[in-house]
Amino acid sequence: MAQEYITLENQDQLGTVKLNKSVFSSIALNVIEEDENVKLVENTRLRNSNTLSAQIQDNQLTMVVPVQINYKANVSDVCANLQHKIFESISYMTGFKPESIEIQVVGFIF
C-alpha cells in the first residue's frame, strides 16, 4: 500500500525522521523552476495525475515528472540533466536516494 511519508533511519538511535512525499515534490519543483529549458505540465492525463507525482511504497520513492521542453534544446540531454539534478537535490537535502525518477516529455515550448 502506498504511504504518505518515508522513514529515515538515524545512526545515533535518538529518534526517527519522517518526510512527507510533498517534500520531495517541492524539491523537484524547485529544480524544474531553475531550468529555463523545462516547464512543468500542470494538466495532463498521463497516469490520471494533474502534475508532478511522488509515490512511496515500502519506503522507496518513485517520481513521475511531466514536462514541456524548449523546442531548441536537445531533449535527451535536458531530460538526463533534469533527472540527475532532481536526484542530487533530493539526496543532498534529505539524505534519501530516490528509487526512480521518470521524466515524461509531453510537449514542447515554442
Q: What is the pTM of this model?
A: 0.86
Give the model's pLDDT for residue 35: 95
Contact (Cβ atoms closer than 8 angstroms) between residue 109 and residue 68: yes
Q: How far apart are CA 49 and CA 27, in angstroms?
A: 18
**pLDDT exceeds cutoff 50 at 48:** no
Q: How far apart are CA 37 and CA 96, in angstroms?
A: 27
Hey, what domains does the chain have and what are their CATH numbers? 5-109 (3.30.70.1350)
Which tens digit of pLDDT belongs to each residue from 89-110? 999 999 899 999 999 999 999 9
